Amino acid sequence: MERTLIADTPKLVGEKVKIKGFVHVVRAHGKIAFADITDRSGVIQVVGGEDLAALRPQYVVEIEGTVNSRPEKMVNDKIDTGKVELSVEKIVVIAKSEEMPFDMGAEELNLELPTLLDYRALTLRYPKVIAIFKVQEVVIDAFRRALQAKDFMEFQAPSIISSVPEGGAEVFKVDYFGRNVYLSQSPQLYKSLLVGAFERVFSVNKIFRAEPSVTTRHLTEVTSLDAEFGFIDSWEEVQEMEEYVVRFIFSEVEKKCTKELAMFGATLPKLSDKIPQVKLRDAQEIIFKRTGRDIREEKDLAPEDEREICKWALEEKGSDLVFISHFVTKKKPFYVYPDPKDPTYAFSVDLLGRGVEWSSGGQRLNDYKTILEHVREWGLKEEDIELYLQSFKYGVPPLGGFALGAERVTMHILGLKNIREASLFPRDMERVDVRLSETDQK
């Protein structure tokens, strides 16, 4: 008999089927037993006797039986197969599982984060954990499709690079045949130079940040959703493109992830007709007026400022998202485009959502001579970014772009407390798959 996917069983009432999947939970009541069996398509209740009662959580099984309608009062509206159940006729155990270290059948896993991650290969099987990554897949796929629809071309960015495009110390040095190179902090220089070849590009790739602190919003390996395009008329065009992409992502998640959102009691971020936008200086003024905290001379927003300006955006503009523009030029990487009216500030724009930064972006310098001046001023070596400079030497149109962190977007769509939950295999300074102990240090 061919395998039937669990999701198809409600259409097959009265018929014999064979399902294959995992035992999620077994409930034995005397001679009668119930089990929830999951496969990639869903979950179904199976009814049987001693054979079924003998199964253990996470056993891999093949079950033949008849699909029956459940009695009215046994219908479970919470699952798609809630109107049916499978009466067991034959069970084959395909693979056994050892004793569970915790109750995988519980309504909520309720594990401390370290335990959730120590047992990642197992906890990834939990339906609510699976749901996080279904949402993330839709986010990434929507990012791709939104840009493809605007004629952007996908490229594969290198991970081994010779320079530190974003500046700062948060970079992993790699011994490369006796020379120093780095794990890519960002595909920034490649996406910009590719504008010279393809005009509009995007990439979905890993970036690496040697974040020396353990916070709820930082990883050392991040999935970066990068876009860059040329022939822009202004930095605002970059912001508009980003808004279009983010709206498309939300609409796709709304369409395809109803079940997953419901599992988390999550609602998509609220949007007004247009995502509000404020300059850094104005944001600081707003925060000062609202809280009395005078941060007006600061060069950037601290995490509590980001939370406050997001609160303002929601209360005053009805939006969970807000663009902050015109950051301090010297606090941004060398490639930012200073505002000609006031070069202290740059045509850069961050998107904040639900209290946290989701992306950075803006217009970039495209004039070769000005780029060389910035390279010197920012203390970079021309030879480290030779190909990038080569592109601009031979002419690149006005350009800009942005990068969204896929884990942060997923985390804030679902209201997760820690970004690690939104990464299949999160890396931080204390963990690479397993917890790193001091004795591991070389």
The contact set with ligand AMO (CB under 6 A) reads: 166, 186, 188, 209, 211, 218-219, 222, 224, 357-361, 401-405, 407-408, 419
CB of 324 closer than 8 Å to CB of 345: no
Residue least distant from ligand AMO (Cβ)? 405
What is the nearest approach in angstroms of ligand AMO to the Cβ of residue 407?
Answer: 6
What is the nearest approach in angstroms of ligand AMO to the Cβ of residue 38?
Answer: 30
What is the nearest approach in angstroms of ligand AMO to the Cβ of residue 191?
Answer: 7
Residue closer to ligand AMO by CB (options 6, 275) is 275
Residue closer to ligand AMO by CB (options 211, 384) is 211
What is the nearest approach in angstroms of ligand AMO to the Cβ of residue 403?
Answer: 4
What is the nearest approach in angstroms of ligand AMO to the Cβ of residue 243?
Answer: 15
Residue closer to ligand AMO by CB (options 9, 203) is 203
Nearest CA-CA partner of 407 in 356, 348, 362: 356
What is the nearest approach in angstroms of ligand AMO to the Cβ of residue 370?
Answer: 17
CA-based R_g, the chain, Å = 26
Residue closer to ligand AMO by CB (options 317, 420) is 420
CB of 32 closer than 8 Å to CB of 82: no
Residue closer to ligand AMO by CB (options 46, 346) is 346
Residue closer to ligand AMO by CB (options 200, 218) is 218
What is the nearest approach in angstroms of ligand AMO to the Cβ of residue 390?
Answer: 19
Residue closer to ligand AMO by CB (options 230, 405) is 405
